[in-house]
């Protein structure tokens, strides 16, 4: 249908064409005859001239903009009526809107920064005049021919402290759900930080080409604004640095006090993140010289001694990535908050948001918060089987099924001296995957690489093993027995894995067959057995054990069937976290005083000579070493200055296999641990406390310390990638 205003002259403005339409107005290009210039004329559609709601919003926009004279707020030239229809005359922006730019895809970070640096001061200026915009979105930022950006459309803006005559702009839920802050979606009291959230959503879309939340209805989107963490921007744009991603997600924090407090602060944060991205902070740290000048110190050869029985002492928890506590699982990783899929609850929230019934909504939101923090009963993990064993029962520690005979008497007699007894293999239940978790939004880079990642994670207040298909993001929970299952190593054929667990009251080693689901207990005694490592030929499993019950742990190796127990290193120190070299000739491990982590260094054991060579020797804590696939390098965790309690930081360091050429590889997320090369050597996985989920998550990066990508979102540690 033809527009009845085109071709007409309204009080000196010749209407030429429609340049934009919104929910409450149409914008025309017009020629101002008196000034001989092109302008934009915003007119209220005829069908709304008898609607007090639209009339008041239109008139309020005029009143607000008239007092917001800022170089980056679209100026209003004139205001009047034509046949009872109010109109506003504004400067014409020939560059279109940010929406027009986004039609071509995500913006380059520098372009987005240029826009944000112009819009942020305008927004703060409006806030200084007690004006909240309440509808920040790409279509409400207009551009001129020279790249200037201007804030517009204050139709639903609110003036703080003013009482609206009808409550139209001061009560209820108004705005665009995709850009609405959580407090705006709930109808709560707002301040300028609500607009900061909208600016953050807009920045998210500019840099990724996507909005963070999508649902079938506007109500559903509003519910997600209140309850759902936004996806990581780098899932959609892997070229973004970790620093940029972190600042975007800070702008989208659910709690206003956790966001940037002003728009200019957000703009400054983006500029700093672009100038100094976290993902390139390798080989540039001020403390890197600490390791570049260190020389490996050769220790006296350590003889291979006769094997001793391995016992176990009850411990509160296994050693995990906690930086400052000997109770390594205690209170460090926060409990995962499950997402709710309760349809009734979501519908109730959405309905209340849509109606703007604040009192009811607040009650429901409280229910949501309690629901989420209590573990999320709406997400149930249903029993499922490994593909080739669909009828096997779910693992149940009360249903004991033997899966491996104990080591033979003959084997014990030949391998254990002085009549001591090798620990027998306890009967254990058959184990199958116990649940399939909702697929992660896997980064496109990881999807292209493919393969399977196995890791442990604290979810539902317990550590269990998980498997993730990197191509699809599908996760399978492999263990669930009430014990803490951690620190794993996969057999060379990829069919089995060995891990440590305290499921029987103390920490022992267990072997899980990933094909059949069978579980075997490898050690069963009275001391701590931990950190197993499978040899490249599949014939041995090295591990550490607190044989003397004084935390001065020894290194052992044992056959996967429980035979052949052999002590490797016993020097009165804590020796732990062994990992085989690719050729199977060496073990690299952590060694030092049990009661002083600052003495922990990286050492190497030779199977040929029985000698131990210390590869690092400094005042920093070095731990969790592992070889590169070619055996030429060793990567490990290191504290930057030995004072981990003071600075809470660790980095990833790398050196040549002989201990030379030591350098910092990556220092970006505060506490990086468990580095592991991918089988092809093209990637390194590690875990660190994510600035987004505030718990340990699995990350990957390139071998040069760049291209850092978060792989899990819900907990993850100690990942091993299987191709």
Question: What per-residue confidence (pLDDT) applies to 194?
Answer: 94
**Region label for 610, one of left (φ > 0), alpha (ψ between -120 and 50) or beta (otherwise):** left
Other Cβ atoms closer than 10 A to 132: 24
* Rounded-to-integer distance, Cα 577 and Cα 650, Å: 17
Residue 442 has pLDDT above 80, yes or no: no
Question: What per-residue confidence (pLDDT) applies to 366?
Answer: 38
Element holding 43 (H helix, E strand): strand 37-43
Least confident of 187-196, 210-219, 292-301: 292-301
> What average pLDDT does this structure show over 16-38?
88
Other Cβ atoms closer than 10 A to 582: 14
Write out pLDDT tens, residues 505-521.
889 999 999 988 889 99
Residue 491 has pLDDT above 80, yes or no: yes
* Rounded-to-integer distance, Cα 408 and Cα 423, Å: 11
Question: What per-residue confidence (pLDDT) applies to 199?
Answer: 96
Question: What per-residue confidence (pLDDT) applies to 470?
Answer: 84
Instruction: Please provide the size of the chain in residues.
Output: 723
Question: What per-residue confidence (pLDDT) applies to 647?
Answer: 45
Mean pLDDT across the chain, nearest whole number?
A: 75
Strand extents, DSSP E, 168-293: none
Locate 352 and state its tokens: 């209340």
Residue 408 has pLDDT above 50, yes or no: no
Interhelix angle for 358-373 vs 218-227, to 10°?
Answer: 50
Residue 201 has pLDDT above 70, yes or no: yes
* Rounded-to-integer distance, Cα 267 and Cα 710, Å: 24
Residue 250 has pLDDT above 90, yes or no: yes
> What average pLDDT does this structure show over 6-27?
88
- Which is more confidently placed, 217 or 174? 217
- Determine the 3-state secondary structure of 60 from DSSP: helix
* Rounded-to-integer distance, Cα 687 and Cα 698, Å: 4
Question: What per-residue confidence (pLDDT) applies to 654?
Answer: 95
Specify which of 2-11, 272-281, 484-493, 697-706 reaches the highest per-range mean pLDDT: 484-493
Question: What per-residue confidence (pLDDT) applies to 367?
Answer: 36
At 525, is the pLDDT very low, low, confident or very high (cuts 50, 70, 90)? Answer: confident
Q: Which residues contact 35 (CB under 8 A, 6 or more apart)?
A: none
Q: What is the DSSP secondary structure assignment for residue 373, as one 8-state letter? A: H
At 433, is the pLDDT very low, low, confident or very high (cuts 50, 70, 90)? Answer: very low
Q: Which residues are catalytic?
A: 135
At 2, is the pLDDT very low, low, confident or very high (cuts 50, 70, 90)? Answer: low
* Rounded-to-integer distance, Cα 339 and Cα 11, Å: 57
- Which is more confidently placed, 329 or 656? 656
Locate 234 and state its tokens: 């780098």
| Whether 698 contacts 655, CB under 8 Å | no
> What average pLDDT does this structure show over 60-67?
77
Residue 446 has pLDDT above 80, yes or no: no
> What average pLDDT does this structure show over 177-189?
90
Question: What per-residue confidence (pLDDT) applies to 23?
Answer: 63
Q: What is the DSSP secondary structure assignment for residue 681, as one 8-state letter? A: S
* φ, ψ dihedrals at 542, nearest 5°: -90, 150
Provide the whole-model pTM.
0.48
* Rounded-to-integer distance, Cα 88 and Cα 103, Å: 27
- Which is more confidently placed, 41 or 215? 41
Write out pLDDT tens, residues 587-599.
999 999 998 888 9
Structural domains present in the chain: 9-91 (3.30.200.20), 98-276 (1.10.510.10), 409-722 (2.120.10.30)
> What average pLDDT does this structure show over 635-645?
68
* Rounded-to-integer distance, Cα 292 and Cα 644, Å: 20
Interhelix angle for 109-128 vs 263-275, to 10°?
Answer: 160
Specify which of 84-98, 289-303, 360-374, 570-584 reaches the highest per-range mean pLDDT: 570-584
- Which is more confidently placed, 380 or 703? 703
> What average pLDDT does this structure show over 310-335?
28
At 653, is the pLDDT very low, low, confident or very high (cuts 50, 70, 90)? Answer: very high
* φ, ψ dihedrals at 698, nearest 5°: -90, 130
Residue 538 has pLDDT above 70, yes or no: yes
Residue 83 has pLDDT above 90, yes or no: no
- Which is more confidently placed, 446 or 370? 446
Question: What per-residue confidence (pLDDT) applies to 115?
Answer: 96
Write out pLDDT tens, residues 360-385.
334 334 333 343 343 333 322 232 22
Residue 13 has pLDDT above 70, yes or no: yes
> What is the CA 339 to chain-centroid distance, rounded?
15
- Which is more confidently placed, 620 or 308? 620
Half-sphere exposure of 169 (CA within 13 A, CB side): 28
DSSP codes, 468-514: EETTT--EEE---SSS-EEEEEE-TTSSEEEEEE-TTSS-EEEEEET
- Nearest Cα neighbor of 475 from 490, 457, 487 is 457
> What average pLDDT does this structure show over 59-69?
78
> What average pLDDT does this structure show over 282-301?
30
- Which is more confidently placed, 410 or 54? 54
Specify which of 59-73, 334-348, 548-562, 692-706 reaches the highest per-range mean pLDDT: 548-562
Question: What per-residue confidence (pLDDT) applies to 624?
Answer: 96
- What percentage of the chain carries pLDDT values higher than 90? 43
Other Cβ atoms closer than 10 A to 290: 19
Distances (CA, A) of 321 to 333, 481, 670, 716: 9, 22, 12, 11
| Whether 530 contacts 552, CB under 8 Å | no
Distances (CA, A) of 639 to 54, 319, 672, 690: 61, 17, 9, 18
Question: What per-residue confidence (pLDDT) applies to 412?
Answer: 28
At 465, is the pLDDT very low, low, confident or very high (cuts 50, 70, 90)? Answer: very high
> What average pLDDT does this structure show over 20-31?
84
């Amino acid at each position: 249908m033809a527009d009845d205003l085109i071709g007409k002259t309204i009080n000196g403005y010749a209407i030429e064409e429609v340049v934009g339409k919104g929910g409450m107005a149409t914008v025309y290009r017009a020629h101002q005859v008196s000034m001989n210039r092109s302008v934009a004329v915003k007119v209220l559609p005829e069908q709304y001239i008898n609607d007090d709601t639209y009339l008041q919003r239109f008139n309020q926009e005029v009143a607000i903009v008239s007092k917001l004279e800022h170089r980056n707020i679209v100026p209003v030239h004139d205001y009047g009526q034509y046949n009872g229809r109010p109109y506003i005359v504004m400067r014409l922006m020939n560059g279109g809107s940010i929406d027009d730019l986004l039609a071509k895809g995500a913006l380059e970070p520098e372009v987005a920064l240029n826009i944000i640096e112009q819009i942020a001061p305008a927004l703060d200026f409006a806030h200084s005049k007690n004006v909240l915009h309440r509808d920040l979105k790409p279509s409400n930022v207009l551009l001129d021919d020279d790249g200037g950006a201007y804030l517009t459309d204050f139709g639903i803006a609110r003036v703080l402290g003013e009482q609206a005559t009808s409550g139209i702009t001061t009560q209820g839920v108004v705005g665009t759900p995709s850009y609405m802050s959580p407090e705006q979606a709930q109808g709560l009291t707002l301040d300028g930080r609500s607009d900061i959230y909208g600016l953050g959503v807009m920045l998210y879309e500019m840099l990724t080409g996507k909005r963070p939340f999508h649902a079938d209805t506007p109500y559903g989107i509003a519910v997600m604004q209140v309850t759902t963490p936004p996806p990581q921007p780098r899932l959609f744009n892997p070229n973004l640095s970790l620093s940029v991603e972190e600042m975007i997600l800070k702008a989208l924090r659910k709690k206003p006090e956790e966001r940037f407090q002003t728009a200019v602060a957000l703009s400054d944060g983006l500029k700093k993140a672009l100038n100094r991205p976290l993902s390139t902070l390798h080989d540039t740290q001020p403390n890197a010289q600490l390791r570049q000048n260190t020389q490996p110190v050769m220790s006296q050869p350590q003889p291979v001694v006769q094997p001793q029985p391995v016992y176990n002492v009850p411990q509160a928890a296994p050693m995990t990535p906690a930086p400052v506590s000997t109770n390594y699982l205690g209170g460090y990783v926060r409990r995962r908050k499950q997402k709710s899929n309760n349809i009734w609850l979501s519908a109730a929230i959405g309905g209340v948001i849509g109606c703007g019934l604040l009192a009811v909504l607040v009650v429901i939101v409280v229910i949501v918060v309690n629901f989420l923090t209590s573990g999320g009963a709406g997400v149930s993990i249903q029993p499922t089987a490994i593909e080739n064993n669909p009828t096997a029962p779910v693992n149940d520690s009360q249903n004991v099924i033997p899966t491996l005979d104990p080591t033979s008497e003959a084997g014990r007699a030949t391998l254990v001296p002085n009549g001591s007894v090798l620990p027998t293999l306890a009967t254990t239940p058959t184990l199958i995957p116990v649940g399939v978790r909702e697929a992660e939004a896997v980064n496109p880079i990881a999807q292209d690489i493919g393969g399977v990642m196995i890791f442990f994670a604290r979810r539902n207040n317990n550590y269990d093993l998980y498997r993730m298909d990197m191509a699809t993001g599908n996760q399978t929970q492999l263990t669930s027995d009430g014990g803490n299952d951690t620190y794993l190593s996969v057999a060379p054929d990829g069919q089995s894995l060995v891990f440590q667990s305290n499921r029987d009251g103390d920490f022992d080693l267990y072997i899980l067959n990933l094909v059949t689901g069978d579980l075997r207990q490898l050690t069963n005694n009275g001391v701590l057995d931990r950190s197993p490592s499978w040899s490249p030929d599949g014939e041995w499993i090295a591990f550490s054990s607190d044989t003397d019950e004084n935390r001065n742990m020894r290194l052992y190796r044992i056959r996967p069937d429980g035979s052949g127990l052999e002590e490797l290193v016993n020097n009165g120190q804590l020796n732990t976290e062994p990992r085989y070299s690719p050729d199977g000739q060496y073990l690299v491990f952590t060694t030092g005083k049990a009661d002083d982590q600052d003495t922990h260094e990286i050492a190497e054991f030779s199977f040929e000579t029985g000698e131990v060579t210390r590869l690092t020797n400094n005042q920093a804590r070095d731990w969790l070493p592992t070889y590169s696939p070619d055996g030429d390098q060793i990567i490990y965790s290191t504290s930057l200055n030995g004072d981990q309690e003071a600075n809470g930081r660790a980095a990833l360091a790398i050196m040549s296999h002989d201990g030379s050429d030591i350098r910092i590889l990556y220092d970006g997320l505060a506490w990086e641990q468990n580095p592991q090369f991918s089988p092809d050597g093209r990637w390194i996985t590690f875990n660190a406390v994510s600035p987004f989920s505030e718990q340990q998550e699995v990350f990957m990066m390139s071998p040069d310390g760049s291209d850092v990508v978060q792989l899990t979102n819900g907990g993850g540690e100690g990942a091993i990638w299987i191709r």
